[in-house]
Amino acid sequence: MKDFLKYTLATVIGMVIFAIVIGIIGVISMMGMVASQEATTVVKEKSVMVLPLSGTLNERAEDNPFASMVGDAAESVGLDEMLNAVKKAKEEKDIKGIYIEAGVFMPDSYASCQALRKALLDFKKSGKWIVAYADQYTQAAYYVSSVANEVLLNPNGMLDWHGLAAQPIYFRDMLAKIGVRMQVVKVGTYKSAVEPFTEDRMSDANREQTTAYISGIWNTMVGDVAASRKLSVAKLNEYADKLITFADTKDYVSMKLVDKLLYTDEVKASIKKRLGIADDEHINQLSIVDMTNLPRKNKSDNEIAVYYAYGDVVNTSDGQTGACISGVDVSKDLEELMNDDDVKAVVLRVNTGGGSAYASEQIWNAVTKLKAKKPIVVSMGGMAASGGYYISCAANYIVAEPTTLTGSIGIFGMIPDISELMTKKLGLNFDVVKTNVMSDYGNLSRPMNANEIAVMQNYVNNGYNLFLKRVAEGRKMKVENVDEIGQGRVWLGKDALKLKLVDALGGIDVAIAKAAALANVSSDYKTKSYPAAPDFLDQLLSSFSGDGGNYLDEQLKATLGEYYEPVMTLKNIKGQNTLQARMPYHLIIK
């Protein structure tokens, strides 16, 4: 009895100590955040904003307190914070320029790079300057940095410029080795999401559409860089064909890709000269976090809500790692925004290749109800395809970047056949007794028969017809016309504009301005982002408890890099809904 009391008391004391430690950490964190905000309330004269182009670029910044505490957080920045910081830097009179610090940069899409680049061009229009520097420019980092007044490089650095290539991964033969085969039913000539599981190479239709959109993205990139660097498109393509990535750094200067080769101390001297300060004076620098913590100037009561929907479209967020678009959560959130009288309009920021057709329909329904009460405008990010287009098509107005991947109007179903794994590989035997013809549907000992496939095909056809109907209603088109540009075909935003799948080209700023105009508050409004980020303590407890596996997920992303998404697709395929509205595959464009 004495030992029992001793161990019980020790457990209670341990829990109390843990609670105290968590409380102290929370208090210290809040004090730190308050101190940070106070420290950046006033921008000092002759300041410079530092824009980091390294690590991963996501739709929104995702903090992980546990990873930060152990000093092992993968560097990640949010496009939303970057765009907001550049805008504030333009408006702050004491910020004289932006210093781009480039490195190994992995954006979620070239559309995100294009949005950031356009914001920097707008910043330059105010008469302020931009200087970019790197030890190594990745192709994406150089595309953004080329907008600068001066592009600088380490004398022993590197500049990557090689063009674009799309590399889907095919799992069919690997799965066959363990006795697994995918049974597929689909609608759409171009609906190629199933190809990685059924083929070992691209179909002709998929090669056609992939060639079209990577060529379109590259042509946009080359045109933008040519304009900024005063080079011809032909010359930039010539450089890419020569793989100048491994050229002598002096050649980059003669090619007019960079302006000077400098070391970091020389870059500081150059910045000080631009600011008009002495060599021994300190450069006042503002980070992205500093810019985020600047006090809001607009006190309007009219709110334009910006709701971020990115990641896979899923029924529920339970068991999901990382960002996702939960049909349950998004529908509930949009209903709350619909009933909030302070919210005059909603901008739905969509960045997804789709997912569950069921969840897409739920969100479509929520968008339709919101639209009946107040304006809703869609802003498309890197991707708003398949399920992403499904949840967008009912909006009052759709804005896409020229390089957004959208469309992919199609449906498929995919059911694993593991009969060979179970019977031949593992040596299991099965028998069955049934009351009806279809009673043993889903039998592990055999593939689907012809009758079952016919039933599934009819089911998928109905899903596709509903998708066509939703698009036709939202875009005021005929169903047969939607079908012609549907069939699972992926379109670039600039092509989707011609096809009337989107209404305008531009970034989130264009969508916000349109939403304000539709709500008749163009001259008096503020914006607020949703869903709200969890506070520090919630994030910390989530990290410790393993809910969502954020810390381990970050480590996996850092390890796998561009192959993270394809591997996670393979891992999660068992838990996916039968009916999917999804992009052809997780694109690896490099």
Catalytic annotation, pick one of 191, 272, 344, 371: 191
Query: What is the Rg, in whole angstroms, of the alpha carbon atoms belonging to the chain?
Result: 26
Which of 76, 331, 386, 419 is labelled catalytic? 386
- Under 8 Å between Cβ of 550 and 322: yes
CA angle 296, 299, 301 (to 5 degrees): 135
Q: Which secondary structure element, helix H or strand E, spans residue 37, and what is its range?
A: helix 2-39
Q: At 516, is the secondary structure helix, strand, or coil? A: helix
Residue among 142, 63, 77 nearest 108 (CA): 77
Report the distance separating Cα 322 and Cα 355, nearest Å: 15
Contacts of 427-432 with CB under 8 Å at 24 or more apart are none
The length of the chain in residues reads 590
Burial group, residue 339, by CB count within 10 angstroms (0-12, 13-18, 19+)? exposed
The pair phi, psi for residue 513, each rounded to 5°, is -60, -40
Of 188, 120, 259, nearest to 490 (Cα)?
A: 188
529 is catalytic: no
Q: ∠ at Cα 579 (574, 580), nearest 5°?
A: 85
CA–CA gap between residue 150 and residue 153 (Å, rounded):
10
- Assess whether 191 carries a catalytic annotation: yes
Structure token pair of residue 400: 């896409």
**485 Cβ contact list (under 8 Å, min separation 6):** 407, 409, 491, 499, 501
Distances, alpha carbon 453 to alpha carbons 9, 183, 441, 449, 473, in Å: 62, 9, 10, 6, 30
The encoded tokens of residue 187 equal 């609608």
**Are 285 and 47 within 8 A, CB to CB?**
yes
Encode burial over 135-163: b for 16+ CB neighbours within 10 A, e otherwise: bbbbbbbbbbbbbbebbbbbeebbbbbeb
User: Which residues are annotated as catalytic?
Assistant: 191, 386
